[in-house]
Amino acid sequence: MNAPTSVIGTAAATEANAFLSLANGDRLDIEAIRQHVPVRRCKHAAGQGVYHAGQPFLALYLVHSGSYKTCELADDGREQVTGFRMRGSLMGTESIGLKNYSCDVIALEDSEAWELPYPAILRACLHLPELQAYITGALAAEVRSDRSWMLMLGTLAAERRVAAFLLDVAARYAHLGYSAKHFILRMSRIDMASFLALKHETVSRALSRLHDLHLISVQRREVQVLDVDGLRALAGSGLVLN
């Protein structure tokens, strides 16, 4: 009924069922879970928070459409974007075992996430052993992904970091069935810079440089990948997906 499929990575198979996508490519259909867990669909406007650090931990959230960022923040006001989430990603798992959420999640655009109350999930795990395995696996994959970004941040110069980031975004779009060669970045330069541990001016310059090298074409948030191999050579290939 809505969203005529636009050229480049917009709203996503909007009315298809959501799924839980695992690192190894497995997808756990949410319908099985829905039998045990009451799901509430939550819409978020761009900039709106899903949950904030300190709020009581009550539910996990499955991204259905749009995109989100997760932010870590320190007492003294320092702030860091630690990840970007797209359709199929389960948010809130990092707070399992705590009374309160440990980080912030904010919508980058108008988005929708499905709220899965945690107590109900725990009960459902008793009936659905694969759900328990799924959550454990998702957490492990998150650790691996974070560590592979730590490797990237610790070993690559600014320009290479940006290249690696673009390849990651491209791979994620491809995984969702969108073009890996032509897409719109959903986050601001500031968010990108924070995630990459750089300043936004540096990210901007790096993108311009990659453009000048004919590896990509970039205009504001629209990116076209012109030379994947060139990008890979810069980024040092390997990167674990979410």
Minimum separation from the CB atom of position 216 to its own copies (A): 21
Q: Which stretch binds its own copies (CB under 8 A): 28-36, 73-81, 108-116, 167-175?
A: 73-81
Q: Is 102 in the site for its own copies (CB under 8 A)?
A: yes
User: What is the C-alpha to C-alpha distance for residues 201 and 186, in angstroms, rounded to an integer?
Assistant: 18
Minimum separation from the CB atom of position 90 to its own copies (A): 12
Minimum separation from the CB atom of position 1 to DNA (A): 23
Minimum separation from the CB atom of position 3 to DNA (A): 17
User: What is the C-alpha to C-alpha distance for residues 84 and 172, in angstroms, rounded to an integer?
Assistant: 11
User: What is the C-alpha to C-alpha distance for residues 89 and 168, in angstroms, rounded to an integer?
Assistant: 15
Backbone dihedral angles phi then psi of residue 28, each to the nearest 5 degrees: -100, 120
Q: Is 229 in the site for its own copies (CB under 8 A)?
A: no
Nearer to its own copies, 155 or 208 (CB): 155
Q: Is 27 in the site for its own copies (CB under 8 A)?
A: no
Q: Give the number of other CB atoms < 10 A from CB of residue 218.
A: 17
Number of residues in contact with its own copies, rule: CB under 8 A? Answer: 48
Question: What type of residue sits at position 204?
Answer: S
Whether 176 contacts 87, CB under 8 Å: yes
Q: Is 84 in the site for its own copies (CB under 8 A)?
A: no
User: What is the C-alpha to C-alpha distance for residues 206 and 188, in angstroms, rounded to an integer?
Assistant: 15
Q: Which partner from the list DNA, its own copies, none does 227 bind, CB cut-off 5 to 8 Å by kind?
A: none
